[in-house]
Structure 1
Amino acid sequence: MRLKFHIISLSFLSLLFASTSVTAQNVRITGVVTGAGSDETLIGVNVLVKGTSIGTSTGLDGDFEIEAPPDGTLVFSYIGFQTLEVAIANRGIVHVALEFEASQLDEVIVVGYGTTKKRDLTGSVSSIKAEDIRAVPVLSADQALQGRAAGVVVQETSGEPGVGTSIRIRGTSSISAGNEPLYVIDGIPMLAQATDISSGAAQGPRLNPLSTINPNDIASIEVLKDASAAAIYGARAANGVILITTKRGKAGQTTINFNFYQGWQNVRNPYTLLDASQYAHFVNEANYYAGNGRVYDDPSKFGEGTDWQNEIFRTALMSNYELSFTGGSENIQYAISGAYYKQDGVIRGSDFERYNFRANLDGKLHSRITLSNSLMFSHTKSNKILTDDNAAFDGGIVTAALSFNPMLATRDENNNLILKNYAVDNDGNPIDGTQTDADGNVIPEKTLNTFANPLLKIYDSSSQSKISRIIDNFSITFNLLEGLDFKASLGADYSISRSDQFTPSTARPAGDSFASSGSNSSFALLNEYTLSYNHQWGKHRISAVGGFSAQKTSVSGLFVNAIEFSTDQFGYYNYATARGADVITNYPDFTFLSWLGRINYSLSDKYLFTLTGRADGSSKFGDNNKWGFFPSGSVAWRMSQEDFLNDVRWLGDLKLRMSYGIVGNESIGPYLSQALLVPVDISLDNNLTIGFEPFLFPNSDLRWESTTQFNIGLDGSLLDGRFGITMDFYIKSTFDLLLTTDVPFYTGFSSVFGNVGDLENKGFEFSFKSYNLIREFKWNTDFNISFNQNTITSLADRNNIPNSAGLFGIESWALLTVGEPVGKFYGLVTDGIFQIGDDPESVPRFPAESPLTPGDRKYKDLNGDGVIDDNDRTFIGSAQPDFSFGFINNFSYKGFDLNIFFQGVVGNDIVNFNKFLIERQNTTSNITLDYFANRWTPQNPTNEYPKVNADPAIIRRYISNAEVEDGSYVRLKTITIGYRPSSNFLKRIKLSDARIYLTAKNAITFTKYSGYDPEVSHFGQSATNMGADLGGFPNTSSYIVGLNIGF
């Protein structure tokens, strides 16, 4: 704890010494900056007096005004143009023209433990810059990646505020270990599990660890995709690496920026369900086909009734406030920012708040000694609503709203919430067990299903989470010799979190209250030493880095679950009165030691070579496999430098790349290789006592999952860099998958966790960037598309492994099978509808089912035994997409700018469990208007929807292709229009910059999917259960107005 205090204290003390330079005896200089070869003025060009902190930027007309020494030098810099230095030479007017540099081959790219120029890359790396992130308001850094990097599929699995996305870089690489990439923020690997408190405290998706970072603090995001780029991170790089670099100060006048936006969100596509009168008609017809009498004499008298979706959903507000200061002198630079973000969820009662502070400081102690410190503090608060659940627990609020009787009012005559999903009598009264018949006998309570009133989850239940996090990284760099630097760094990542949930007895089907609380703290200490060398002599250029890294993580957690409280009055403050409580403590520690190195060599700027290696030791793995070595190598040939292409004037740059390497995946629990014991109750001498029994079979040979990757790529730029392309083909093979395998019964265990199984991803990526117009009217385009094919190639001695969670009593709906992708759906195939005149004895049916009658659904008897059972199931869909893409166009004219961003995923399927719930034949739930309008009747002998039937004997244990839908979509992800006033106007109101903008997110979506949104996953980041939709927190359409001001 003392070390953490010193780290934080050092960061804040450094702020006190930030200073800027003041220059006297200056003269006033004005001028205009244009693009070379045109009269086009350039807006926002940085103008700096060399060697001082004096700076400004050009206005709307490309004009600038600055005070500088008459013998000084002005430095002009602008993204996409070459930096230019101009001597003032006692002039009062300085007009300059900047040369276009559209190829941006000299753009600096952050790679592991260093930087490199884009032109020198031999691996596959995608880069997203600050201006791309700032163009569209997003909650977290991972959302900024969606559709912007080839080979990266980002899925917003839930619309719940603060909840994480699912990211796959070049496909699914593991079955049971993690598939999420490694995040490295300012040199510190991010520990996602440190804030994962949901498992012990609340059902539903976990909070997003990246939601603690303010996206506008980010300077760049680099995605390391192939083994050559990622191998410097060794055993944690199998799923790719995402490097997040935050903004730093620059020498120059202090710049103050204030950013604000306000927005609102709506559910994009709510289901159209039956209203009260339609539902009454449905009940009458369903009872008719079940052989029962008419229930309601006049369905129309019930009117519209209650729209339960409308009761739980709302138009939700969001707001964001940011203030930042950047500047400094040649000796010290600073970037300081603070932000507050608030987002209400579209489900009533849910919200998310975030407070951020960041201070990045850089300074020189000596001409050969530099210091750097990056400090981030964040605090988040979240009110959650139970969703993404099934009947095995409480029933989520969305599934309850979908299934609830529209004939019910939300409250009774005493203004108390209706408790259960009651049936309604002919007079519209709920049959809740309080009524009596003509003889004075109590009429038994009658409910449609076990769901409680969804409003109880909003008004009587609670679920809160809080996370505080501090990340600090301090480094000192010594320039030992020209080109030789030694760097020592010390980083810390400390987080504390708390979550509490309470569901009263009235809101649970079993009538027993439930509470859950969890607290978690994590402290990771990272110590690294690196030696880097850069030198060029003649045609030879070399850069190298080598070092040592040690990281220790300590986590402590306490989780409590309890049921049946004596009273609901005190919520989760009342554990002492619960019938029983389960207490779980968790104190995992794990250590990571590493040796790393990389060497880059260039010959004649034409032939490029990279060798990388990292040796990692982890305490997570068995005694026989604590260490692993992960090497990679890559080469590149810049063909455009060859003599035979010298005369091809339209070709700016052409480079062929090839790489191969091995990386690892260590995303498992810290003690899976060891023998573990669990406490059990035992009886000794008729006395109950606590003992221990073996829980996990040890495996001293447990080792990392290893992924080999071959990559061949092509980078090209045309017409002086106006057009650029990147293509990559890869084969990514994962070996030693971490899975359970059977062991002999005499061991006392049924299985052991071991390295069995292999899978493969093959894919192709294409990116295109163009500067279509570069004069007064500007237009540039970014396009990327990625194809990936996932295949399980081995499961050792096992095959057809059921590997999906049960929902609503449905048996396994996904299988792991050799030759098929992960996430393959498994179920029955429909065969139309039984029609009038069909022979009932000739149609296969379920074993316990009566012969089919007209209007019943038929299923294919695939094995021909005359019975429909689990032997007739087959593959009916896949959650893996065929390809994904992003398409961005940026336009600007004078002060106006327009950004249009399309994004899409094609070829994946979704199991719509909501549809399984609300398109049943019986009356245990409301149903969709589409089903009811197009159901089978003698007058409408359709082959799509069966007849309605109140017979409760109709029970389905399997999904079918009727619930599997095409999840492909193309959406207008964002459209933003902005306006920046003229420089003359800004000068009059004493501002350096100002911009107002309007943004629409998810405004238009083209999809065949009938659910709330095709971007959904009931099980979040799970690889084996992806593609399920059941009662999740819907994604939203949002509309934002914002303002950026610079002082």
Structure 2
Amino acid sequence: MKIYLSKEFFDSTKQLLRKMRATCLLILVFASSLFAVDAESQVAKVNIAFNSVTISKVIDAIEGQTDYLFVYDKNVIDLNRKVSVKAENQSVAEVLSGIFGNTNVIYAMEGTNIMLMPKSEAQQQGKKVTGKVTDSTGGSLPGVSVVVKGTTIGVITDNNGIFSLANISENATLQFSFVGMKTKEVVVGSKNAINVVLEEETIGLDEVVAIGYGTKIKRDVTGSITAVKSKDIQNFKASSVDALLQGQGSGIQVSQSNGTPGAPVRVMIRGTHSIYADAEPLWVVDGIPISNPVNGVAGGLRGTAGQNPLATINPSDIESIEVLKDAAATSIYGSRGSNGVILVTTKGGKKGQGYVTFDASFGVTDFTRNANDIGFTNGTEWLDLVDKGRSNYGLATIKTDKDLNNLISQKTTGQVFSVDRISNTNWFDEITRKGAYKEYNLSISRGYDKGTIFSSINYRDEKGVLLGNDFKRLTGRINADFEPIENLKTGVKINIGYSDNNQVMNAGVPSGNDVLAAGGFNMALTGSLPIFPKWWDESKGTYFMPASGYNVSASNNTNNFRFQLETYRAIGGIYLDYTLPWIKGLSVRSEWSADVSSDIRNFMVKKLLRPKNTSYGEYQPRMQRNLNYNVYANYNRTFNEVHNVSATLGTESQLFSTRDIIVFGENFPEENRQFGNQDAARIPSGGFGGERYIRSYFARVNYRFNDRYIISGSIRRDGVSIFTPENRWSTFASGSLGWIFSEEKFMKSLDFVALFNDMVESLKIGIATNYFFVIQVG
């Protein structure tokens, strides 16, 4: 496909283009990202063999074998000139250099576009520049983009890392860029050969990390922080954000509550901090403190696992995670940070760059040990063992129908467990399967001089190892940052997620107010004997003792019950950041954010699973609001090249509330699998709960002398509405000292110090407490 650009075209559409200017700008935000360069397109190869054909035919062949699209003015570029080409597994750049090398035509690669242009006089008076690009180990780097800065003139390096540019001015600057490498610029000057070494994007102590209400160079951080970057977790296909922290740092304990898809993940930082309160850290996503109940959403109901409240955030959107572990690092968050703080930063666009990424992943899950590996008995083995045990105690062996019926507490009317019905049932085969998941992720990023945009869509469908455990998630994200005027930055970050979590029960024999047979995997382990049959009459589909709880096939059949948890969650915020031009180093930032979720729990069980022989159901919607507002100032300035002072001063307010409604119903039409029948008994209840307000004032000061000696301190005063007025306010403070002793002259003379790059020793003291236990114990 060719795109023709001609004077006549623009003349005939000039008025239309003017009218559509605003629309085109919006479309270009997304469309231009389609022309971004990734690592694969930079090294595209072609196989072409032509003898005396037009350039137009060569272009068609290149477009047919690659993702490249040619752009040119057909009135200026001679496409009818005939050439001969023989290229076997050669890069597109090599082919084009052979075609246009001695002509008045140059080419430029911009993303997946190749532009053909005539040489200007200035270009024709330039010189040829060649060179080689390698990595830090000396290895050749193919596919590196070499561009004349400020123009669209450029090439990519071949398989040996070689590049060649013709007609380059001595005043030009060459820009070398490659995915995963630091961009490097070199002034051409008098050089005809330029060899470049590109360095990897390293994560070291000069890296900037989030510390709460700002960022700091890692070497200046005296508190204990573990930083996890996207490259550390990009190959870890976790189902939730918290699972990404597994094995990523010392003092971070991550454990899955169970293997149910979407189940909560327990994260503890440096162990348990209270015998009364929970040990969950504070999660802050893009500056937004979010709700994260320790047991998940609707956890524990009839043995279900609940749902991970972080499951509606796409792990592929994560740019970095900083874990604040000690009081020196967390005290800036006051009472909410006593269990540690986890700062999550999501991806954003980067200026001058754009890309579209789509990835799909598939996987399977299974038990590490199945029933045979553990050594569960079959029906015959179980009877033999029981008979031996009874005989050892002088008891008679199990022989009669009465003996067998005594093994079942809740019996189904009309059914008797007799000797002739003794079976050899493997209950694990009845309720388990090989689990599987599939996940699709699409992300689009684009950067401009005055802003960046990142957006993504994620879909995950996971089936657990237990029949009936199914989890689906759909999320969407938009992160946009703009600089509308000088010194002012603004942006918005929005994440919208939906999840559909269906689970099977795991609560055993009939009990509780609803009195139903919940069965479950635990019952298969301990109560469902292999001598029990699955069917009373298989030809009619009649289960054996379905209301007993021992028939886990009946209890785990999703046609007989429904436990569904739907979650709708929106996490979003906007910010304004203004750098004061009249006070060097001072900026003011304000953030408004909200975390709003709606959880809808549907539960229904048919009468065959209840000794009362009536259907039963529950409907419980819950809405949670978490609103947060803050404004703070950051100051950072260096005096006389040796004294660096940074400070933060601000205030923050938070509102949290929940609203619940629950409706119980009995004896409703089972085919509807929901409420709505006027004859069904309904008991509604509801109300508000967990409402609290927090007002805070905070400050932090950091002083660094001679780039090696550091003093830091922070203080926060929290007021929490759940306390009585005289006990409502409390103060949290910390202080620390740091010494970057690898910067000392006596250390630089030691060869082994170079192995550690920057070495920081710190002494810290701080106070942290937790107000959440008041909510739990009264």
Interval containing the TM-score (normalised by the shorter chain): 0.7 to 0.9
Please report how far the alpha carbon of residue 260 of structure 1 lies from its aligned counterpart in structure 2 after TM superposition. 0.5
Counterpart amino acid of 2:140?
T
**Identity over aligned pairs, percent:** 29
Aligned to 1:158: 258
Equivalence for 1:655:
760
* 1:295 corresponds to: 399
For 2:566 and 2:165, the matched residues in 1 are separated by: 48
Q: 1:398 aligns with which of 491, 501, 521?
A: 521
**Paired residue for 2:502?**
383
One of 344, 347, 354 as aligned partner of 2:463:
344
- Alpha-carbon shift at residue 524 of structure 1 (Å): 2.4
Measure how far apart 1:559 and its partner are. 1.9
Cα offset, 1:547, TM superposition: 1.0
TM superposition score normalised by structure 1: 0.55
- Alpha-carbon offset, residue 665 of structure 1: 1.8
* 1:282 aligns with one of 385, 388, 410: 385
Cα deviation per residue 1:63-102 (whole Å; 9 max; x = unaligned)?
7899999655445567997653223569897541135786
1:624 matches 2:748: no
Q: What code does the residue aligned with 1:664 have?
A: T
Provide Cα deviations, 1:630-676, integer angstroms capped at 9, x if missing partner: 1111110112222332311321332211111112323357xx5xxxx
Work out whether residues 417 and 455 of structure 1, in 8 Å CA contact, stay in contact via their aligned partners in 2: no
Question: Is residue 498 of structure 1 aligned with residue 603 of structure 2?
Answer: no
> Equivalent residue for 1:413?
537
| 1:125 corresponds to 2:238 | no
Q: 1:523 to 1:580 in 2, by over 3 A?
A: closer
**Does the Cα contact within 8 Å between 1:385 and 1:457 map onto a contact in 2?**
yes
1:201 offset after TM fit, Å?
6.6
Given residue 645 of structure 1, which amino acid in structure 2 is its aligned partner?
A: M
1:478 to 575, 578, 584: 578
Cα pair distance change 1:615/1:294, threshold 3 Å: closer
One-letter amino acid of the counterpart of residue 644, structure 2: R
Q: Which has the higher contact order (CA 8 A, sep 6+)?
A: 1
- What secondary structure, in the 3-state scheme, does the structure 1 residue paired with 2:490 have? strand
- Deviation of residue 44 (structure 1)? 8.2
What displacement does 1:510 show? 6.2
Q: Contact 2:604–2:618 (CA<8 Å) still a contact in 1?
A: yes
Report if aligned partners of 2:272, 2:279 keep a CA contact under 8 Å in 1: yes
Residues in 2 aligned to 1:30 and 1:318: alpha-carbon distance in whole angstroms: 49
Residue 328 (structure 1) shift: 1.7
Distance 1:620 1:168, change over 3 A: same
1:928-983 per-residue CA deviation (whole Å, 9 max, x = no partner) reads: xxxxxxxxxxxxxxxxxxxxxxxxxxxxxxxxxxxxxxxxxxxxxxxxxxxxxxxx
Q: Residue 410 of structure 1: CA displacement? A: 2.3
Q: Is the 8 A contact 1:139 1:211 kept in 2?
A: yes
Q: Does 1:39 align with 2:138?
A: yes
The one-letter code sitting in structure 2 at the alignment partner of 1:656 is: E
Tell me, yes or no, if structure 1 residue 250 matches structure 2 residue 356.
Answer: no
| Matching residue's letter, 2:521 | V
8 Å CA contact 1:452, 1:506 repeated in 2: no
The residue that corresponds to 1:845 in the other structure is none
Q: What residue identity is the alignment partner of 1:527?
A: Y
Assess, with a 3 A threshold, how the Cα gap between structure 1 residues 248 and 91 changes in structure 2: closer, same or farther.
Answer: farther
| Larger gyration radius, structure 1 or structure 2 | 2
Following TM superposition, by how much is the alpha carbon of 1:316 offset from its aligned partner in structure 2, in angstroms?
Answer: 2.0
Deviation (angstroms), 1:608: 0.6
Give, in angstroms, the shift of residue 15 of structure 1. 6.3
More helix by share: 2
Contact 2:509 2:549 in 1 (8 A): no
TM-score (norm 2): 0.73
Q: Which residue does the alignment assign to 1:581?
A: 683
Instruction: For residue 361 of structure 2, give the secondary structure of its aligned residue in structure 1.
Output: strand
Contact 1:55 1:252 (8 Å CA) reproduced = no
Match of 1:451 among 550, 555, 562: 550
Q: Counterparts of 2:770 and 2:248 in 1: how far apart (Å)?
A: 25
Query: Which of 543, 551, 556 is 2:659 aligned to?
Result: 556
Taking the aligned partners of 1:596 and 1:60, their CA distance within structure 2 comes to 55
Decide whether aligned partners of structure 1 residues 64 and 569 sit closer, same or farther in structure 2, where only a CA change above 3 A counts.
Answer: farther
**2:763 equivalent to 1:665:** no
Distance 1:54 1:536, change over 3 A: farther
Is the CA contact 1:200–1:560 (under 8 Å) kept in the aligned structure 2? no
The alpha-carbon deviation at position 40 of structure 1 amounts to 1.7
Alignment of 1:190-269 (within 5 A): 190-193=290-293, 197-198=297-298, 203-269=303-369
What letter is aligned with 2:533?
A
In the alignment, the residues of structure 1 paired with residue 608 and residue 494 of structure 2 have an alpha-carbon distance, to the nearest angstrom, of: 46
Aligned to 1:328: 447
Structure 2 CA distance, aligned partners of 1:550 and 1:54? Answer: 52
Per-residue Cα deviation, 1:11-38 (whole angstroms, up to 9, x for no partner): x9996684869999985798653234x4
Higher share of residues assigned strand: 1
Which is worse superposed, 60-69 or 355-364?
Answer: 60-69
The yes-or-no answer on 1:313 pairing with 2:432 is: yes
Alpha-carbon contact 2:597-2:625 (below 8 Å) kept: yes
Deviation digits for residues 298-318 of structure 1 (CA, Å, limit 9, x no counterpart)? x99999822110110011221
Runs (5+) with no aligned partner, structure 1: 1-11, 423-446, 673-737, 740-752, 754-1047
Q: Which of residues 480, 487, 490 in structure 2 aligns to 1:368?
A: 487
Aligned counterpart, 1:880: none
3-state DSSP of counterpart to 2:272: coil
Q: 1:349 to 1:101 in 2, by over 3 A?
A: closer
Query: CA offsets, 1:326-358, max 9 Å, x none?
Result: 122121211111111110111112211111111
Q: Structure 1 residues 86, 313: CA separation in 2 closer, same or farther (over 3 Å shift)?
A: same
| CA distance in 2 between partners of 1:548 and 1:414 (Å) | 68
Name the CA distance, whole Å, in 2 between partners of 1:409 and 1:59: 70
> Matched residues in 2 for 1:89 and 1:233: separation?
53
Asked if the contact 2:280/2:294 (under 8 Å) is kept, the reply is: no
Whole-Å separation in 2 of the counterparts to 1:203 and 1:64: 64
- Show the counterpart of 1:530: 632
Please state whether the residue corresponding to 1:573 is helix, strand or coil. Answer: coil
CA-CA distance at 1:214 after TM superposition: 0.8
Matches within 5 A, 1:95-106: 95-98=195-198, 104-106=204-206
Distance 1:660 1:529 in 2: 27
> Shift of residue 390 of structure 1?
7.3
Cα deviations across residues 279-315 of structure 1 (Å, max 9, x unaligned)?
Answer: 2323433443452145299x99999822110110011
Shift, 1:503, TM fit: 2.2
CA deviation after TM superposition for structure 1 residue 203, in Å: 4.7
Question: Helix, strand or coil: the match of 1:132?
Answer: helix
* Aligned twin of 2:86: none
Structure 1 residue 276, shift from structure 2 partner: 2.2
Structure 2 CA distance for partners of 1:131 and 1:59, relative to 1, 3 Å:
farther
Report the Cα distance in structure 2 between the residues aligned to 1:522 and 1:57, rounded to whole angstroms.
53
How far 1:417 sits from its partner (Å)? 5.2
Q: Which moved more, 1:610-619 or 1:398-407?
A: 398-407
**Paired residue for 2:696?**
594
Counterparts of 1:856-1005 in structure 2, within 5 Å, are none
Distance 1:131 1:503 in 2: 46
Q: Check 1:591–1:343 CA distance in 2 against 1; reply closer, same or farther (3 A cut).
A: same
